[in-house]
């Protein structure tokens, strides 16, 4: 049975998403992402899973790449629709683990830890399968996701802060037995406080390789970041590329 996933990116999150992720719009962050994806796409179409407000899709489309997206959240996609350049981007509403978008693609990508929004192994495996069905022969699948931070979690503890500032406290709550993680955000502005929590399933690079293999793809590249710095034991995230056979 396929369960419809809960939408954690409804209106109250979508309303502030671009402002709260402003650091991700900085050219120093976004340009290398778009360069990397544009080079892989070449003259073939690209599919963004979890396209959201179009942070990556719009600049990629401006580079001449035909981009299509899948997303669950009407509120996030409404923000995309309101931006210049959005008219060139088609979006299919639905769960990216199972939804079929029209067309065939040379590139599919899933950035900003969004694979973890699928909170079971079955759903993550289904996502790889779904991507493989969208890709043309030789097509590539790119994921950007953090390396699970368990080396910093002392034995017996379940919480770890990832940001501490006067306006934003963020900490991850780990369920090590179930490979689950809930990111809690406490934000303060204009004398008001807001708490939001987002569930994830953290996933290991080797486990993603196995999911790719189950879907008939194999690892082609793994880097520490979009600049293609080497991936090492100290890397906190990775950018991985799997390929469907020619």
Ligand X SMILES: C[S@@+](CC[C@H](N)C(=O)[O-])C[C@H]1O[C@@H](n2cnc3c(N)ncnc32)[C@H](O)[C@@H]1O
61, 73, 240, 243: which one contacts ligand X (CB under 6 A)?
73
The answer to the question of residue 70 lying near ligand X (CB under 6 A) is yes
Q: Least distance to ligand X from the beta carbon of 179, Å?
A: 17
Which of these, 107, 82, 102, lies nearest to 91 by C-alpha position? 102
Contact (CB, 8 A) for 230 and 223: yes
Binding flag, residue 9, ligand X (CB under 6 A): yes
* Phi then psi dihedrals of residue 131, to 5 deg: -60, -45
Task: Tell which one of 34, 41, 46, 96 touches ligand X (CB under 6 A).
Answer: 96
Considering only residues 152 through 211, tell me which ones interact with ligand X, judged by CB under 6 A: none
Which pair of tokens denotes residue 117?
A: 């929004």
Tell the smallest beta-carbon distance from residue 118 to ligand X (Å): 6
Q: Under a CB-based contact definition with an 8 Å cutoff, are residues 14 and 73 in contact? A: yes
Does position 34 bind ligand X by CB under 6 A?
no
Provide, rounded to whole angstroms, the least separation between the CB of residue 24 and ligand X: 6
**Could you say whether residue 97 binds ligand X (CB under 6 A)?**
yes
- 46 lines the binding site for ligand X (CB under 6 A): no
Residue 134 interacts with ligand X (CB under 6 A): yes or no: no
What are the C-alpha distances in Å from 102 to residues 68, 70, 91?
A: 9, 10, 10
| Number of residues counted as binding ligand X (CB under 6 A) | 20
CA angle 75–119–110, rounded 5-degree value: 60
Our CA angle for 230, 160, 18, nearest 5°, is 70
What percentage of the chain's residues is helix, strand, coil (to nearest 5)?
Answer: 30, 35, 35
| Closest separation in Å from C-beta 209 to ligand X | 21
55 binds ligand X (CB under 6 A): yes
Contact residues for ligand X, defined by CB under 6 A? 5, 9, 50-52, 55-56, 70-73, 76, 95-97, 111-112, 114, 117-118
């Amino acid at each position: 049975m396929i369960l419809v996933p809960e939408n954690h990116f409804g209106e109250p999150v979508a309303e502030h998403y671009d402002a709260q992720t402003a650091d991700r719009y900085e050219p120093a962050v976004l340009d290398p992402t778009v360069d990397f994806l544009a080079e892989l796409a070449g003259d073939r179409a690209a599919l963004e899973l979890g396209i959201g407000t179009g942070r990556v899709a719009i600049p990629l489309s401006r580079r001449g790449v035909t981009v299509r997206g899948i997303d669950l959240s009407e509120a996030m996609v409404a923000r995309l629709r309101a931006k210049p350049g959005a008219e060139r981007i088609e979006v299919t509403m639905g769960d990216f683990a199972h939804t079929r978008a029209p067309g065939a693609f040379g590139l599919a990508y899933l950035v900003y830890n969004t694979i973890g929004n699928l909170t079971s192994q079955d759903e993550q495996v289904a996502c790889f399968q779904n991507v493989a069905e969208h890709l043309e022969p030789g097509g590539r699948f790119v994921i950007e996701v953090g390396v699970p931070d368990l080396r910093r979690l002392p034995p017996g503890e379940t919480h770890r802060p990832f940001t501490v500032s006067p306006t934003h406290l963020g900490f991850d709550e780990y369920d090590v037995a179930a490979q689950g993680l809930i990111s809690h955000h406490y934000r303060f502005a204009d004398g008001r406080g807001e708490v939001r929590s987002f569930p994830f399933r953290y996933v290991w690079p080797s486990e993603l390789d196995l999911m790719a293999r189950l879907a008939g793809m194999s690892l082609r590249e793994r880097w520490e970041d979009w600049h293609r710095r080497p991936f090492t034991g100290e890397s906190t995230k990775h950018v991985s590329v799997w390929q469907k056979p020619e």
